[in-house]
Amino acid sequence: MASLNPNSSLKLHELCRIAPPPSSPKSSFSLTFFDLLWLRFHPVERLFFFSVPHLHPSSFFDNIVHMLKRSLSLTLQHFLPLASNIVWPSGSPKPIVQYNPGDSVSLAIAVSDSNMNSLLDNLPCDASMSRAFVPNLDSSDSFASILSLQITLFPNEGFSIGVTSHHACADGKSSTMFIKAWAYLCRRQAENESSGLLPQELQPFLDKEVIIDPRGIGAAYIDGWLGMDLIQKKQSLKIMYDIFAPKVEGSARATFKLKRGDLDRIKERVLQKWESHKAEDERADSTVPKPQSLSTFVLTAAYVWICLAKAMEITEQRTKKILFGFMVDCRSRLEPRIPENYFGNCVMPQFTETLPENPSNIEDGIVIAAKKMHRKIRKIQKEKGVLDGAETLFTRFSMPNEDSQVIGVAGSTQFRVYQADFGWGRPEKVEITSVDRNISMGMAESKDGDGGVEVGLVLKQHLMDQFASLFQRGIK
């Protein structure tokens, strides 16, 4: 059974398991090549903080926890893969997701004497603080749990829901759909209308057969994972926590905001200089005209990417090639199209890089970064090349280059995580805690609903100080 994070100083009130209703049938679900890429990757960890002033423990345990438990069970009957385990049957060429009646999800109920307001603050703080409020996920050579949850009370202030999910079972869009479905049924229960039915947009599409793999991408990924053990080629489902350990010692966690007006000004500056800056790889390519506009994602990612690259250059006193990795949702980019509510992974990593010679100033760097990302995305859209190079992706993933640094993106403004209202109001803060396992920016829409963006980062303290200075200076 999964447990509280070992770094936790919380008081554990209850450790239980929540199962779908008994009528839920035995089921198995295949893992597609989209899933297999993440087979032993670290889980995705999110924290949802809800402010409930004057929340007394008796009200929390008797009312809130009761409704969260009951609605969780009702939700899991729709999302059976989350109550399942990943197993690798003997003789099977690849693992599967298996649900047996009685399988369940680990749920920890805890009480913290921490000040929740300090956790809601966006200013840099000790990166290890959030670790206490997300649960662990069990795994071994023979099985891996898929979902683990922790609900933490902050007396008189509110509560948090920590969600740890196995990446091989769900991408960000799918895991967010589950959270919204759980919130919907909990809210309906509070209104005494808990039929257990979900609206169409929250009903997961579970048929894995819609994902076609004629090029043997999945087999290449399985070979890659088996090759991690050079001697035995052993089948293992154990998450590689040693490689993906949280990097919190001497690090700070912070959230940075770009308001709609900030993004508009960045866009204006980028488009004004669009023609005057050409990256080396585009000088021979004049097929990408100046766009009329740029997406919120491109503007945000380019700005944060270059501020971070420049901060690294200043603090490390040397220049590295910076690879920027981001996920592309393939649901609308495959033939035939995949349903929007498809549950599982349907994203493919894409990479682009800064110039070997880093721009002398941030503004020029943002222009070049935005152009590179815009060209990459446009090429994927135009040529439907979202799976180009997918067969060799595992090899590229597993061969790090000391002369380069990868910066990734977790989350999306399209997920609308601040819509997750369980009946006690929308979240005060949503945090992708697992960005501390590598250098990634956690991205979400602004809580204020103003069209802005929130970006969460975990960096070494000296790097965080430099980044924060560059970030604020750039938007002013």
Average pLDDT over every residue of 43-49: 98
pLDDT band at 354 (very low <50, low <70, confident <90, very high): low
Q: In whole angstroms, give the CA distance from residue 96 to residue 88.
A: 6
Residue 125 forms part of a structural domain: yes
Could you tell me if 271 and 371 lie in one domain?
yes
Q: In whole angstroms, give the CA distance from residue 164 to residue 166.
A: 7
CATH number of the domain enclosing 264: 3.30.559.10
Residue 345 forms part of a structural domain: yes
Average pLDDT over every residue of 255-280: 89
Domain count, the chain: 2
Torsion angle, alpha carbons of 325, 87, 73, 445, to 10: 0
Could you tell me if 434 and 310 lie in one domain?
yes
Round the average pLDDT of the chain to a whole number and report it: 91
Residue 419 forms part of a structural domain: yes
Residue 242 forms part of a structural domain: no
Which of 108, 120, 100, 88 has the alpha carbon at shortest distance from 164? 108
Residue 148: is it exposed, middle or buried by C-beta count within 10 angstroms (0-12/13-18/19+)?
A: buried
54 is known as an active-site residue? no
Highest mean pLDDT among 183-197, 308-322, 375-389, 459-473: 459-473
Could you tell me if 181 and 269 lie in one domain?
no
Residue in 35, 167, 171, 436 annotated catalytic? 167
Instruction: Check pLDDT > 80 for residue 91.
Output: yes
Helix (H) or strand (E) holding 467: helix 461-475
Average pLDDT over every residue of 347-369: 78
pLDDT of residue 145: 98
pLDDT of residue 328: 94
Instruction: Check pLDDT > 70 for residue 285.
Output: no
Q: In whole angstroms, give the CA distance from residue 189 to residue 281.
A: 56
CB 3 within 8 A of CB 134: no
Instruction: Check pLDDT > 80 for residue 401.
Output: no
Lowest-pLDDT choice from 117-121, 135-139, 208-212, 320-324: 320-324
Percent of the chain with pLDDT over 90: 75
pLDDT of residue 278: 64
pLDDT of residue 108: 98
Q: In whole angstroms, give the CA distance from residue 438 to residue 324.
A: 13
Pull the structure tokens for residue 108: 């920890």
Q: What is the pLDDT of residues 92-144, one digit of tens each?
A: 999 999 999 999 999 999 999 999 999 999 999 999 999 999 999 999 999 99
Of 209, 226, 243, the position where a domain reaches its end is: 226
In the DSSP assignment, the letter for residue 91 is: T
Residue 265 forms part of a structural domain: yes
Residue 244 forms part of a structural domain: no
Instruction: Check pLDDT > 80 for residue 3.
Output: no
- Is the overall model pTM greater than 0.85, yes or no? yes
CB 423 within 8 A of CB 186: yes
pLDDT of residue 358: 55
pLDDT band at 67 (very low <50, low <70, confident <90, very high): very high
277 is known as an active-site residue? no
Could you tell me if 185 and 54 lie in one domain?
yes
pLDDT of residue 334: 92
Instruction: Check pLDDT > 90 for residue 232.
Output: no
pLDDT of residue 284: 43
Average pLDDT over every residue of 30-56: 97
Pull the structure tokens for residue 117: 């307001």
Could you tell me if 269 and 137 lie in one domain?
no
Residue 243 forms part of a structural domain: no
Tell how strand 96-99 and strand 85-87 pair up: antiparallel
pLDDT band at 402 (very low <50, low <70, confident <90, very high): low
Torsion angle, alpha carbons of 446, 452, 457, 463, to 10: -140
Give residue 29's domain range. 11-226
Residue 344 forms part of a structural domain: yes
Could you tell me if 349 and 262 lie in one domain?
yes
Could you tell me if 269 and 212 lie in one domain?
no
Could you tell me if 317 and 454 lie in one domain?
yes
Could you tell me if 265 and 200 lie in one domain?
no
Lowest-pLDDT choice from 1-5, 199-203, 406-410: 1-5
pLDDT of residue 356: 46
Could you tell me if 46 and 138 lie in one domain?
yes
Residue 195: is it exposed, middle or buried by C-beta count within 10 angstroms (0-12/13-18/19+)?
A: exposed
Distance of CA 462 to the CA centre of its chain: 25
Bridge partners, residue 181, by sequence: none
Residue in 213, 329, 364, 421 annotated catalytic? 421
Could you tell me if 262 and 191 lie in one domain?
no
| CA separation, residue 354 to residues 270, 322, 374, 378, 440 (Å) | 16, 6, 13, 18, 16
Pull the structure tokens for residue 443: 């991205």
Secondary structure, 3-state, 208-256? HHHCCCCCCHHHHHHHHHHCCCCCCCCCCCCCCCCCCCCCCCCEEEEEE
Could you tell me if 101 and 53 lie in one domain?
yes
In angstroms, how far apart are the furthest CA atoms of the chain?
A: 68
Average pLDDT over every residue of 299-328: 87
Q: In whole angstroms, give the CA distance from residue 211 to residue 214.
A: 10
Average pLDDT over every residue of 26-41: 97
Average pLDDT over every residue of 172-191: 94
